[in-house]
Amino acid sequence: VRIFDIKDADYSLYTGKDITSVIQMFFWATRNIFHTIRNKKEIFRNDRNGIVLVHGDTFSTLLGAIMGKIAGLKVAHIESGLRSFNLLHPFPEELTRILTFRLSDYMFCPDDRAVANLEKYDGKKINTEYNTLLDALHIALPVIRHISDVAIPDRPFGVVTLHRFENIRNHTAMQRIIKLVEEISKRKHLVFILHKPTEIKLRKFGFYPLLENNPNIELRERYDYFRFIKLIIEAEFIVSDGGSNQEECYYLGKPVILLRKATERNEGLGRNCVLSNYDSTVVNDFVANIDKYTFEALQLTHSPSGIIVEHCARFA
């Protein structure tokens, strides 16, 4: 919010530390639901004709949709219609999306495929053609040119960013991705960006020292959005399990290998993006042929966010 120069929230439901466990998430969600029931007039300013916008596939997405329904308001889901059609990959994101679809009155879909995935759900489907992330990138790019406080390695490097529950939920899952990261580090220098839940699990399962002592891996704390994109642009390739990273890399024409079994997004697959299925042969082939996964960045032809604003204006 700060770096995009957006005004502060009129009402904040939570301002504490990062929520890094399932138990914390459960108590946070339960508390917010009861808080909404008791204070919906204050939270939503007694608005009876407004609309609640929720985005993506996190638990807060579903919680926002539930809160909107409790308040008797319309709900609009941004980035709607994305499906992997596998409840366990990603989990719980795939389940969160399905439940959010059922609560949504308006569904802003990033492409035709997403629209088709919503055929059996009620609600108005609007195709924004791209994701709002494309707008964020085009806001960030002019700023990034003036950023000089991100340490860029003096040799070709890749950026690693991993955080999904399916990859960090237990020792076995985390060991699988760490082995692949170590395999890549034998051939390429890596900058490993630490999401807080990932760092906690790396320490808990004993993998943190392994990475810390690897001379070809740098461990770094998370950057703000502009500085992270600066690092992505300077990198040779990305190793990720994130859907947003998959889209960012597609828009930027940057090679990305996904450490996942399935992805709900179609952007870049077969072009700059490779779905690894945790197969070391696939990962090694990607690293050996990075150049063939590079292309020119996409140019913004229209604003997905503008389409959403246009449809929501009547609720203002």
The model's pLDDT over 191-217, given as tens digits with 9 standing for 90+, comes to 999 999 999 999 999 999 999 999 999
Q: Please indicate, yes or no, whether residues 120 and 186 belong to a single structural domain of this protein.
A: no
List, for residues 127-175, the tens digit of each pLDDT value: 999 999 999 999 999 999 899 999 999 999 999 999 999 999 999 999 9
Residue 98 sits in the same domain as residue 154: no
At 315, is the pLDDT very low, low, confident or very high (cuts 50, 70, 90)? confident
Is residue 302, in this structure, part of any structural domain at all? no
Percentage of residues of the chain with pLDDT beyond 90: 78
| Per-residue model confidence (pLDDT) at position 17 | 78
pLDDT at 302 (0 to 100): 87
Predicted local distance difference test score (pLDDT) of residue 210: 97
146 CB-side CA count, 13 A: 3
Boundary (domain end) residue, out of 87, 103, 127? 127
* Within a domain: 209: yes
Nearest CA to 106 out of 313, 312, 281 is that of 312
Report if residue 164 sits inside a domain: yes
Is residue 88 in a domain?
yes
CB 267, CB 285: distance < 8 Å: no
Count of structural domains, the chain: 2
Check 77, 163, 189, 195 and give the catalytic one.
Answer: 163
| Predicted pLDDT at 241 | 97
Please state the three-class secondary structure of 283-315 as a single string.
Answer: HHHHHHCHHHHCCCCCCCCCCHHHHHHHHHHHH
Task: For residues 209 and 182, state if they share a domain.
Answer: yes
What confidence category does residue 298 fall into, taking pLDDT thresholds of 50, 70 and 90?
confident
pLDDT of residue 300: 75
Does residue 169 sit in the same domain as residue 267?
Answer: yes
Mean pLDDT value across residues 183-198: 97
Query: 147 and 252 share a domain?
Result: yes
Continuous segment of H or E residues that includes residue 191: strand 189-194
Query: What is the reported pTM?
Result: 0.88
- pLDDT > 90? residue 3: no
The pLDDT assigned to 217 comes to 98
Domain that holds residue 41: 22-127
163 is catalytic: yes
Average pLDDT score over the chain: 93
58 and 116 co-located in one domain? yes
pLDDT at 282: 98
Mean pLDDT of 14-40: 83
pLDDT at 249: 97
Taking alpha carbons only, the member of 123, 143, 159, 302 closest to residue 227 is 143
Domain boundary among 71, 104, 127: 127
Residue 23 is predicted with a pLDDT of 83
Above 90 in pLDDT, residue 276?
yes
Angle value at C-alpha 300, between 295 and 304, nearest 5 degrees: 125
The rounded distance, in Å, linking the Cα atoms of 277 and 166 is 12
Query: Do 32 and 111 fall within a single domain?
Result: yes
* Mean pLDDT on 298-304: 85
Whether 107 and 181 map to the same domain: the answer is no
Position 206 in a domain? yes
Query: Is the domain of 117 the same as that of 187?
Result: no
pLDDT at 78 over 90: yes
| CATH number of domain containing 38 | 3.40.50.2000
Tens of pLDDT, residues 213-260 = 999 999 999 999 999 999 999 999 999 999 999 999 999 999 999 999
pLDDT at 13 exceeding the cut of 90:
no
Is residue 193 one of the residues assigned to a domain? yes
Determine phi and psi for 109, rounding to 5 degrees: -105, 140
Sign for the CA dihedral angle at 279, 283, 159, 128 comes to negative
What's the pLDDT score for residue 105?
A: 97
Q: Does residue 108 sit within a domain?
A: yes
Q: Higher pLDDT residue, 88 or 280?
A: 280
Asked if 90 and 112 sit in the same domain, the reply is yes
Q: Which of 104, 127, 150 is the last residue of a domain?
A: 127
Do residues 118 and 166 both lie within one domain?
A: no
Domain annotation covers residue 55: yes
Both 111 and 182 in one domain: the answer is: no
